[in-house]
């Protein structure tokens, strides 16, 4: 497992796009731990047309903290 910090995709509301409420993704926001090989789509409106795929420790200036449970 890798550690996910505030400001990184794993704790962003757009991580996982339309399925960000999946238990696996919610757990990342709670524990700040993620599988190292996890890749998810980003649902940010500016990234959707590009089908951007990100890891929990990626990041960008569009970061928006997700609500934790």
The residues that touch ligand SF4, with contacts defined as CB under 6 A, are 9, 12, 14-15, 42, 44, 47, 54, 58-60, 62-63
Give min distance, CB of 35 to ligand SF4, in A. 16
Give min distance, CB of 19 to ligand SF4, in A. 13
Question: Biggest alpha carbon distance in the chain?
Answer: 30
Give min distance, CB of 14 to ligand SF4, in A. 4
Q: CA-to-CA distance for 28 and 10, rounded, in angstroms?
A: 6
Coil, strand, or helix at residue 11?
helix
């Amino acid at each position: 497992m890798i550690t996910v910090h505030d400001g990184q995709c794993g704790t962003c509301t757009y991580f996982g796009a339309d399925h960000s409420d999946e238990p696996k993704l919610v757990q990342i926001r709670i524990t700040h731990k993620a599988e190292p090989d996890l890749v998810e789509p980003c649902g940010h409106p500016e990234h959707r047309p590009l089908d951007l795929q990100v890891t929990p420790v990626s990041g960008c200036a569009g970061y928006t903290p997700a609500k934790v449970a």
